[in-house]
Structure 1
Amino acid sequence: MNIYKKLVLSLICDALGYVSFVFPPFDFIWAPLSAYLMTKLYKGREGKVAAIIAFVEEALPYFDVIPTFTLMWIYTFIFKPKTTPKKA
């Protein structure tokens, strides 16, 4: 998937998290769904850790303002250390 498509999906997922400010019971649906989507968008150990963080962040009241998906995109595509090839 294109990195910019992931960015758009991440922004949409973060925006969906704000729905609970208007309709608080939405968190009961969104918290597990956001964790699942995080594991699908971002693979590996980082994706699993981010899924746990997303679940907790969405399940707790007043933490919905944290843009977890967008922060994960920034980490993955901007700050994540690139692996260097090993010399023979």
Structure 2
Amino acid sequence: MIGLPGHSAGSIAVHVPVADAVFVGDGLTTRPVLTGEHGPAPAPFTDDPGQALASLERLSGIEARWVLPGHGTPWSVGVPEAVRRVRVSAEAG
């Protein structure tokens, strides 16, 4: 388990190497309900957006292909790219 506080105090991610995947719960989304866009972005309705974004850095070194969010479709371009896109989206938003 990897702690991802920010969205909520107990948010976590679970890396499953045999599945080449990281389950991120609400650590990020691939379909923000407020915009309807597709692709990795910060999860809306987050308790502490700054902390949530900082927490994602804990995932940036994981080389899993699949990112499985609690909301949105699975992302198959890899964890580092998902984290990068969330950062870009947060800076633009």
TM-score (norm 2): 0.30
Structure 1 or 2, whichever has the larger Rg, is 1
